[in-house]
């Protein structure tokens, strides 16, 4: 609703609404989260997985946890990032909810399934299963990745 640099405005918005305020998609550093928490301006931190990565978001979540603030990482990437997001979510004690992009177009859903397997982004009773293989728990189909990277569909 306003720039993150305007902490007073964010705090005022937070105080005047009953809807939890979640911010952080554009935050790059843990100290920026500290400023928002110190001002009691947010209810949920929303750092971007593609912007901050797993390790930095974990540091931000630790800082937020001390303030009893939940973490809901922002994710708008592909299926490999979904696997990373799910593992990150499972590792955060103050985890709240995970956003996962669901493309409207059938060809986009097919591409995601080809790259990382259809079961990765399958929702069962409102939940995702945590991938259990080595690393991020998925096997990337390199041929599909190359196919879609090259613009073929």
Q: Contact, 22 vs 49, CB < 8 A?
A: no
Please state whether beta strands 127-128 and 70-71 pair in parallel, antiparallel, or not at all (unpaired). unpaired
pTM of the model: 0.85
For residue 9, what are the contacts with CB-CB under 8 A and spacing of at least 6? 1, 2
pLDDT digits (tens, 9 = 90+) for 65-119: 999 999 999 999 999 999 999 999 999 999 999 988 888 899 999 999 999 988 8
d(CA 129, CA 148): 25
The values of phi and psi at residue 127, to 5°, are -130, 155
Q: What is the CATH number of domain 7-149?
A: 3.20.20.120
β-bridge partners, 48: 74
Query: What residue ranges do the domains of the chain occupy?
Result: 7-149
């Amino acid at each position: 609703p306003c720039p993150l640099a305007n902490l007073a405005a964010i705090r005022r918005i937070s105080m005047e609404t009953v809807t939890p305020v979640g911010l952080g998609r554009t935050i790059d550093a843990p100290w920026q989260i500290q400023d928002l928490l110190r001002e009691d301006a947010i209810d949920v931190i929303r750092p971007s997985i593609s912007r901050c990565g797993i390790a930095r978001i974990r540091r931000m979540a630790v800082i937020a946890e001390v303030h009893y603030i939940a973490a809901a990482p922002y994710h708008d990437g592909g299926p490999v990032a979904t696997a990373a997001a799910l593992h990150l979510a499972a590792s955060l004690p103050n985890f709240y909810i995970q956003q996962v992009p669901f493309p409207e177009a059938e060809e986009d859903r097919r591409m995601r399934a080809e790259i990382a397997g259809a079961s990765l982004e399958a929702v069962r009773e409102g939940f995702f299963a945590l991938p259990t293989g080595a690393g991020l728990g998925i096997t990337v189909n390199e041929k599909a990745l190359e196919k879609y990277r090259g613009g073929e569909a």
